[in-house]
Amino acid sequence: MRLNLQEKSVIVTGAASNIGRGIALAFAEEGAAVAIADIDADRAQTVADEALARGASKSMAIRADVSNWPDVQAMTARVEGEFGSVDILVNNAGWVVDRLFVEKPRAEWEKEVQINLWGMINCTRAVLDGMISRSYGAVVSIASDAGRIGEFREGVYGACKAGVIALSKSLARENGRHNIRFNVVCPGTTLPAPGEEISPTSLWATDEMKVWLQDDMRSRISKAYPLRRVGTPADIAPAVLFLASDVASFVTGQTLSVSGGYSMV
């Protein structure tokens, strides 16, 4: 299947590692122009260099905090200035600490809301005027099965991801007449590859989440999935590229779980 992404300009947020990196490099291999947006500027530049080596027509690294509206406006203006447009936005930036609701400090709730929900709102709003003016655009947001079925120890995170799903449906209804599509991909647990450098800003850098990266924990997690393995970025990226491409030009307002059968809703 030819996705014809060679002429497309793409922003991937949270693209310095794990799922975001995998998505950005997959777009690069299709010949797209890719903007690597992340709060970790050094790791973003590393991935931008990788993108060029993988075949991106253009690439750039942008330091951006998706929860900060001026940052997001500046990011969008820079991509539009250097690439000419933003054809595709992938809202991937996310953050969570796995902890019972009653044990979470308020600062963690607020950070989860700011990054997981406000980040998607900010980035989507920033690119939407340009997409409307060109009567073209695709927004693919990374949510989570936690937002579809609820999840133990991920209450506020799941609420944010449910919000991403609901907002994407509303925006699909509002903007279909402008030829702009909104879809959502819901991964299950997707761990960084063994040996992948983990940014100090990553959720996987917290003490609570590092334990998930141990081999025995990977084995335990895999038993919760019908396919009996933990997801990888390479599992998620093809679904995102399909939904972002014109091959899916008649698909909007949809939510696709790519989670090894963890949820079947």
The pTM is what? 0.96
Distance CA 212, CA 210 (A): 5
Per-residue pLDDT of the chain (265 residues; tens, 9 = 90+): 799 999 899 999 999 999 999 999 999 999 999 999 999 999 999 999 999 999 999 999 999 999 999 999 999 999 999 999 999 999 999 999 999 999 999 999 999 999 999 999 999 999 999 999 999 999 999 999 999 999 999 999 999 999 999 999 999 999 999 999 999 999 999 988 777 778 888 888 888 787 888 888 888 989 999 999 999 999 999 999 999 999 999 999 999 999 999 999 8
CA distances (Å), 2 to each of 28, 204, 218, in order? Answer: 14, 35, 34
Distance CA 131, CA 139 (A): 10
pLDDT at 202: 85
pLDDT at 60: 98
> How do the domains of the chain map onto residue ranges?
9-201+232-255
**Residue 135 contacts by C-beta under 8 Å, 6 or more apart in sequence?**
178, 179, 180
pLDDT at 206: 81
CA distances (Å), 50 to each of 15, 25, 37, in order? Answer: 12, 7, 14
pLDDT at 193: 75
pLDDT at 92: 98
Dihedral sign for Cα 26, 30, 31, 34, please. Answer: negative
Strands 9-13 and 88-91: parallel
Q: Is 157 a catalytic residue?
A: yes
Both structure tokens of 215: 């081999």
CATH topology of domain 9-201+232-255: Rossmann fold (3.40.50)
Q: What are the b/e assignments for 215-230, b being 16+ CB within 10 Å?
A: eeeeeebeeebeeeeb
Q: Which secondary-structure segment (H or E) carries 235?
A: helix 233-244
